[in-house]
Chains A and B, each alone.
Chain A
Amino acid sequence: EVQLVESGGGLVNPGGSLRLSCAASGFTFTSAWMDWVRRAPGKGLEWIGRIKSKAAGGTTDYASPVKGRFVISRDDSRNTLYLQINSLKIEDTAIYYCARLSVVATTVIWGQGTLVTVSS
Chain B
Amino acid sequence: DVVMTQSPLSLPVTLGQPASISCRSSQSLIYSDGNTYLNWLQQRPGQSPRRLIYQVSNRDSGVPDRFSGSGSGTDFTLTISRVEAEDVGIYYCMQGSHWPPYTFGQGTKLEIK
User: Chain A residues in contact with chain B, CB under 8 A?
Assistant: 35, 37, 39, 44-47, 49-50, 61-64, 97, 99, 101-105, 107-108, 110-113
Contact = CB atoms under 8 A, between A and B. Distances in A.
Contacts of A39: 43
B107 A44 contact: yes
B107 A50 contact: no
B37 A103 contact: yes
Interface stretch (B19-27, B45-53, B64-72, B73-81): B45-53
10 contacts: A44-B90, A44-B104, A61-B99, A63-B100, A63-B101, A101-B102, A102-B51, A104-B54, A108-B60, A113-B48
A112 B61 CA distance: 20
Most chain A CB within a 10 A radius of its CB, from B50, B60, B61, B102? B102
B100 A110 contact: no
A94 B83 CA distance: 30
Contact of A44 (B48, B61, B92, B101): B92
A10 B23 CA distance: 34
Given A45-B107, A102-B54, A103-B37, A97 B101 contact: no
B106 interface: yes
B7 interface: no
Contact of A110 (B50, B54, B94, B102): B50
Contacts of B97: 103
B99 to A, nearest CB: 8
Contact of B49 (A61, A62, A97, A104): A97
The residue in A97, A99, A101, A113 that gathers the most chain B C-beta atoms within 10 A of its C-beta is A101
Contacts of A101: 96, 102
A62 B101 CA distance: 7
Nearest to A106: B54
Contacts of B101: 47, 61-64
Given A110-B48, A113-B48, 12 more contacts: A44-B106, A45-B104, A47-B102, A49-B100, A61-B99, A62-B101, A101-B96, A103-B97, A104-B55, A108-B50, A108-B60, A110-B49
